[in-house]
Every structure is written in structure tokens, then in C-alpha cells.
Amino acid sequence: MGKATAGERETVLRLSGITKRFGALLANDDISLTLQRGEILGLLGENGAGKTTLMNILFGHYVADAGEIEVEGKVLPPGQPAAALAAGIGMVHQHFTLAENLTVLDNIVLGTESLWQFSSNSQKARTRIQQLAQEFGLDVNPDAIVASLSVGERQRVEILKALYREAKILVLDEPTAVLTPQESTALFETLKRFVAKGLSIIFISHKLGEILAACSRVSVLRGGRLVAERGVEGVTRSELAELMIGRGIPQTKAEVQKAGNVVLGLHGIHARHNYQVLDGITLDVRAGEILGIAGVSGNGQSLLADVVSGVAVPIAGTLALKEVIISRISPRVMVNLGVARIPEDRHAEGLISDMSITENVISESYRSAEFAQRGFISWKKARSFALKIITAYEVKCPSPEARVRLLSGGNMQKLILGRVMANDPCLVLANQPTRGLDVGAVNYVHEQLLAARTRGAAILLISEDLDELFSLSDRVAVMFRGQLSNASPRESTSIKDLGLMMAGHGFKTGEQSHAA
């Protein structure tokens, strides 16, 4: 245990004293770290610890308030992505920076030729891309439109972008968020190949298991500060976890509970919207149980959530609440029937960012007798309702009149929870409810979901986080290409099984088990 002896290797990257403030928030506090040639350095920290900010500074997207970056001994000019690229830094962003309506070739070539150049040499580029693809095992068609690619394939394009520019330092930000467990393992092998060819890698993640599997050294960020550096051999998960959180993680575990009657029944649901498809979904969720839906992003989960939210209308099939089939599906109908919906995108769907907290808490109930009389809203009642939620759910905000845009992600999610749980719903749809939240907020959300379950609500939990699904769900099912597997009890399923199903095993498809 202790620091790795990196003396023999040379330092390819050195960050010294990086500090960055966003208003009152100190995102990075005097961080100094180094990357040695040929190593895979893990950057571990929970959401909000400052990892992405640090990498964005490295990449030139932000300018640090203080501190310096040296690449192979040369100082890197701040705030210029072009300079970072020229210095050999390649970034694989968590949210892919790809133009979806353009081809793979276009995306990779952009910026590699001078803008004043007369004509683009696409033949040369195509050849080079194919060479790289073969060398590193990243199979992709240069002329495919990015929008038609799966998430895994898009990630390959992101990586190729960096390799095409002859990156010496590759930074991967949460790369496994969109992969099945098997694909993640394959990625770690690919990373080892990169390192063998001379690259140095920074691997950013909040998942302990992966850091331990892929990296040789790990730096831990907490609250914007670098709190530890360890070699991966000999360090334990719980030690890292404690360094990451600063305290022991309470394990939220669902107590065994007998489920009641069926609350939500979907039968043979077919739907189509925006490139996503639902191909005959049948499921039921009972009172007092959590049904977890696993799956790689893009296999129809969003559309399933949209149907249950009332946003998307199915082409065929029936949706029943408490055994009553709903004939006209709309968001308002679902709200009125007691469905609490926690959307995937809290910024764009769950809340109206430019309106106040008060205005947002009544967005589903403003027409009820509680708040409106004869077409006029009682803002006094709305305000007191907002205050009630702010207090009960510990939403940190300047006042109920503050614009929602100013709230942190965790507080936004608490606000949404407060709004939708207010009337003791019979069904809760939670779609990626803890994405991007820090551990404190994640725990809070889990507690609220479990509390609702104890009260007898039926909960449909859609999540890309397998750990979350395992700790909360009573039964688990997997979505793949618009189809849903049979739900099995949590105890009789393993992560390995789920991983295989997420890649397509056991589903009726044209080609068997073609990984997404």
C-alpha cells in the first residue's frame, strides 16, 4: 500500500495547483497531479467532486482561476481546445461531442485540416481511419451517419477522433456508463492495447470496481480537492469508497415485503417515436414492489417511460391502472390518476428552469381546486405549498421565488420528488432518478423510493446503474431493442446474467446476440 513508485517512468502530464470557482462554488481546490507515460491513471470521485471540471480545464473548455498545466514539460496555454489537441490530449467526453446528422468521417476529420485549405482530402482520411480501426480493434463504417449508430459504436467514433489526431494522452470520462458489463471488460482490454502502443490514459469514473479493474494508479477527488493517491495493488474497495465519500456509505437495502395487487399493467404495447421502438411490451407492477428495468441506453427505455408518463401514445396494446384500461393517454390523465413521474431529464422535462420554484411546484396541479378558483390562481396557496416541500425535502434554495435554474442537480431532483409525491401516488415512474447526483442526493432519492414502496406504491424503476437496480428492486427485467425480458426476482439474478441479457442473449432478434 502507499504511493506507486513512478520514478522510473517520465511524467507526460503535470497539473499544478489547479483552482476553479463557479460563483460561490469551489469546484477545484488547488489540485496537483501527474500522469506517467504508459500508465492508466484512475480519477475517482463521486458526482460533483470536480472530476469533469478538472478535465474540462485540461481540455481548454474552461480556464482555471489559478494553476498550470504542463504537457511533456511544456506549459499548455489555457482555454484553447486547439492547443490541447495540438499538445496531444484527446478527450472522450461523457456526453459525446458528435454531430449526429453528419457522417463518422466528417466528425473525425473536422478541425484536422486548416480551415483555409481549399479542398478536403477525404480519401486519405478514410484510409487512415480504417488503418486505425484495424490496429486498435474499433470497427466502424466511416460513411455511416452518426445518428444511426448505437451508443457503443458512437463511443468508438469518439475514441477514433482522438487516435486520428495522434493523441498521446487519452482522457476517458465515465466511459462505461453506456456499456454492458461485458463491453466494459472489452474496453479495458482495448485500453491495455493503447498503453502498449505508447499512450497514457486518464480514466475518470465514480465506479470503484472499474477503477480497480482497469487502472494501475488512482487519484481520489472529494469536494474539489485531491484527497489521496494510491497504487491499485493492495488497496481495498472499502478504503477507496471511504476516501471517495469521506464517510462510510450506508447501504440502502430494501426490506422484504409482500407485494399487493397489480397497479400498472402493460399488455402488448407497441410504440414508435424518434428512432425508438417498443415491440410488444408486457409487464405488471404491484403495490409495494419495485420493478427494476435494466438496459443499455437506447434500447427503448425512454420510450417506455414516455408511454407510462402519458407523453407517447402506443400504436397497439393496452395500459391499465388498477385493472382499469386507460383509453385516452395523456400526461394530464396520468397525473390525475395518481402517477408520479420522475423524468430522465430534470432540466428540460421535469422543471421549467426559467420559472420560480413556486411556479414549478404547481405545474401538475395548478388547475385543481387546491390552487385555482374560476380560472384564477391563488399564488399565496402555491407559495405555502412550495415552502412545505422545501422544508420537508430539504431543498437548498434562496427562496421559493428563486429561479429553478440556480438550484443544484440534487436539489432539483428533491423538488421534483416533493412535487410528485405530494398526493401519495399509487404508481411511481422513476427514470434514471439518480443520474449525475452526488452520493448524498442519491441516498435521499433511494430512501424516498423505498418509503413510497413501504406506503404501498408500485414503483417502476428504469436505470442504467446496475448497483442501484440491485439494491432497490424486488424484481428485475431487461430491455433490449424494444423488447422486455421476463421479470425475475432479484435474488435469483446475477450481474453477469443481466449483462448477457443487456447484450441481447435470450431475446428474439434477427441475428443472435449482436451486441448493441
Q: Interface residues with other proteins (CB under 8 A)?
A: 22-23, 59, 61-63, 79-82, 84-86, 91, 93, 97-102, 106-107, 109-120, 161, 309-311, 330-332, 334-335, 341, 343, 348-355, 359, 363-364, 366-367, 372, 375-377, 379
Given the complex with other proteins, which of 243 and 311 has the nearer CB atom?
A: 311
* 162/476 with CB nearer other proteins: 162
Q: CA 472 from chain center: how many Å?
A: 18
The 10 Å Cβ neighbour count of residue 437 is: 23
Q: Is 481 left (phi over 0), alpha (psi -120 to 50) or beta?
A: left
Please state the closest distance from residue 111 (CB atom) to other proteins, in A: 3
**In the complex, what is the shortest distance from the CB of residue 171 to other proteins, in angstroms, rounded to a whole number?**
12
Angle, helix 409-421 to helix 379-392, in steps of 10 degrees: 120
SS3 (DSSP) at 19: strand
Between 316 and 379, whose beta carbon lies closer to other proteins?
379
Residue 427 · residue 309 · CB < 8 Å: no
When the beta carbons of 13 and 91 are compared against other proteins, the nearer one is 91
Q: Are 199 and 163 in contact, with CB atoms under 8 Å apart? A: no
In the complex, least distance from residue 122 CB atom to other proteins, rounded to whole angstroms: 8
Nearer to other proteins, 159 or 476 (CB): 159
| Nearest-approach distance from CB 370 to other proteins, in angstroms | 13
Q: What is the nearest approach in angstroms of other proteins to the Cβ of residue 372?
A: 5
Contact 84, 59 (CB under 8 A): yes
Distance, CA of 265 to CA of 10 (rounded, Å): 61
Set of cell numbers at residue 207: 465506479
Say which residues have a Cβ less than 8 Å from residue 77's Cβ, sequence separation at least 6.
83
Residue placing its CB nearer to other proteins in the complex, 183 or 359 = 359
Minimum CB distance to other proteins smaller for 296 or for 420: 420
Question: Nearer Cβ to other proteins, position 309 or 413?
Answer: 309
CA–CA distance, 69 with 16 (Å, rounded to integer): 6
Output the smallest distance, CB 401 to other proteins, in A: 12
Min separation Cβ 235 and other proteins, Å: 32
Q: Which amino acid is at 276?
A: Q
| Three-state DSSP class for residue 489 | strand
- Name which of 332 and 508 has its Cβ closer to other proteins: 332
- Residue 34: enclosing H or E segment and its boundaries? strand 25-36
What residue spans of 224-321 are helical by DSSP H? Answer: 237-245, 301-309
Q: Crossing angle, helix 122-136 and helix 151-164, to 10 degrees? A: 110
β-sheet bridge partners, residue 34: 14
Min CB(53)–other proteins separation in Å? 9
Q: How far is the CB of 95 from other proteins (least distance, A)?
A: 8
| Separation of alpha carbons 394 and 380, rounded Å | 21
CB of 345 to other proteins, least distance (A): 8
User: Which cell goes with 17?
Assistant: 495547483
Our CB check for other proteins shows the closer of 59 and 385 to be: 59
**Closer to other proteins at the Cβ: 220 or 361?**
361
Amino acid residing at 203? F
Min CB(123)–other proteins separation in Å:
12
Task: Please state whether beta strands 458-462 and 290-294 pair in parallel, antiparallel, or not at all (unpaired).
Answer: parallel
Across 316-462, the runs of DSSP E, i.e. the strands, are 316-321, 324-325, 339-342, 372-373, 376-377, 427-431, 458-462
Whole-angstrom Cα distance, residue 415 to residue 131?
Answer: 51
